[in-house]
Amino acid sequence: MSSPVHSAPDRVLGTAELLRLILENLFHDYQQTYRNALVSKTWSNEASNVLWYKLDSFLPLLKLLGPMSSTYDEYGTTVFKYDRHIMHIECFLKVDDSVVFDLMATAPFSASALAPNLKEIIYDGGGPSLIKFIPLFMNDSLEYLCLCNVRGNAEMAYKRTLSYIPHNAPNLRRLELYSEDQLVHSEIVHPEFDLILAALPHLTEVSLPPAQFVTSGLNVLARLPHLATLEVAGPCQRQALDVTAMSLADTFQALTSFVINGLCLDDIASLIETSKPPKLHTLEVSLCLNESRKTWCRIIATIASSCPAIQHISIRYIGRYPWNGSETIPDQSIFSLLWPAHPCMTLTSLVLEHAPRLCLNAEIMKVLLSSLPSLETLDLSERIGPATLPLSALVELAPLCLHMKYLTLCVDTAQVSMSTPPETRFSCLKVFGVGISPLKSSALDVVSFLGMVLPKGCALQMPYLNQEEQAKWKTVIDFLPMAWELRTAREGCC
């Protein structure tokens, strides 16, 4: 009897190595991967491996611990005992009737026997009863560990869980820690945490709360050979950082992205100035507390001189209170003597949102744009006025914005020129934002001017204005398409 002839697809789908590559592309489609696991024994083995790559619930894993029987103690509490392994788990009801398990003793087996292909563990909220399970499932294949929103009564469990990482998950690549409860992070002694970081040389992404981002820990982070993304995220507070006590020469060699919330601008500037990260292309800073105009000047100057590969700069003030109006504002822009000395050919995005007064004018803007020829996004949203850059200056700026797609400026609309040559039009602008600019001229004059300067279809935005001013600009938005049609008709006649 002749053997059956298998087609090429049959041979591919019957080969474990090729099947694994196909199923790994369905990593995020759990339902389809589950159905694939029911096709055949070969498919089941490979699909099951993919299903256990990520863990965001401990309940399925509890069933892997062995046969389980239940009984009651002298207080009437339900107690679950595992027959195969020595483990004792208590079960009790919370106020919301959800069941929470509290691990009392661990079983004498390795995590690799439970979930050998587990790559991600995500813990997002819950008490100490659940976080205690995490060390049971750490293994050599684990690449991503997220411990977020740990509650205040879980400090010791949180500390204990972190202590298991170097031994149980030595190949960890992404570590994310976040909690609004500062007591949770204060429970971790800095030398112990530094030793944990130093024992994880494969880390490429780290997200820490400001409380853990201290001088000693920063020294360790700076020397991780593969660290590409560093994020400091947490509650709004000012975290002091003594950069002078650090030795940062030839550090952060692989760092490409730095996202910060909770540090002051002076410390960030000192850190960048000292380390000079050669590959840093993204810097995002969120400020919850007021910073002086001087510190804004310093951070921008430091980035311009110390980050040769910088592409994206974003500094945003997200606090509730306005800038101190009594601060002395010199008649000089932040940019007036900065970018000409340090032209940046790589920068494509510059966002200074709710910055102190920038004292912009047409000449300063032309120098700035000439020094940053690759800009695609420019957001200079000043928080206080009055605006010093006239709207008519857009005529002079348009030829320097060859790649600009998103532009936000606080402009003075008091006097608007209506005789704009067509060649001064922005070529590829998609969005023009007016920041806190009030409409001082007639809507008709502004529509006529913008209709000649902005490309057809460009959106006009004014998210920072009050309702009264938004209503005035709404008229401009409504009539802008008509201005474009008139311009098209006029150009067609010519």
Q: Is residue 259 in some structural domain?
A: no
- DSSP symbol at 245: G
φ/ψ bin of 205: left (φ > 0), alpha (ψ from -120 to 50), beta (otherwise): beta
Residue of 328, 393, 329, 326 whose CA lies nearest to 359: 329
Q: Is residue 170 in some structural domain?
A: no
CB 404 within 8 A of CB 429: yes
Q: Cα 48 vs. chain centroid, distance in angstroms?
A: 32
Please count the CA atoms within 13 angstroms of the CA of 315 that sit on its side-chain side: 22
Kindly report the number of other CB atoms within 10 A of residue 9's CB atom.
8
What does the pLDDT read at residue 491? 75
What does the pLDDT read at residue 406? 97
Query: Please, what are the averages of pLDDT over each run of 10 residues along the chain (494 residues)?
Result: 54 71 75 80 78 63 57 58 43 31 39 66 67 79 84 70 88 86 55 86 91 74 92 67 65 92 85 90 89 85 89 87 47 53 81 85 88 92 81 92 94 76 80 91 90 92 85 92 87 67
Q: Is residue 31 in some structural domain?
A: yes
What does the pLDDT read at residue 139? 82
Q: Is residue 214 in some structural domain?
A: no
Q: Is residue 36 in some structural domain?
A: yes
Instruction: Identify the three-state secondary structure at position 178.
Output: strand
- DSSP symbol at 472: H
What does the pLDDT read at residue 64? 60
Provide long-range contacts, Cβ within 8 A and 24+ apart, for 247-250: 247/219, 248/219, 248/222, 248/274, 248/275, 249/274, 249/275
CB 159 within 8 A of CB 172: no
Look at the chain and report how many structural domains it folds into: 1
What does the pLDDT read at residue 87? 38
Alpha-carbon distance 241 to 180, whole Å? 20
What does the pLDDT read at residue 419? 59
CB 433 within 8 A of CB 381: yes
CB 179 within 8 A of CB 149: yes
How far is CA 472 from each of CA 277, 344, 403, 477, rounded to the nearest angstrom?
46, 38, 30, 9
Which residue's structure tokens are 């981002």?
A: 213
Q: Is residue 15 in some structural domain?
A: yes
What does the pLDDT read at residue 314? 95
Q: Is residue 221 in some structural domain?
A: no
Alpha-carbon distance 34 to 48, whole Å? 8
Q: Is residue 18 in some structural domain?
A: yes
Q: Which domain holds residue 33?
A: 7-51
For 407, the enclosing helix (H) or strand (E) is: strand 406-409
β-pairing verdict for 229-232 and 205-208 = parallel
For 282, the enclosing helix (H) or strand (E) is: strand 282-287
> Residue length, the chain?
494
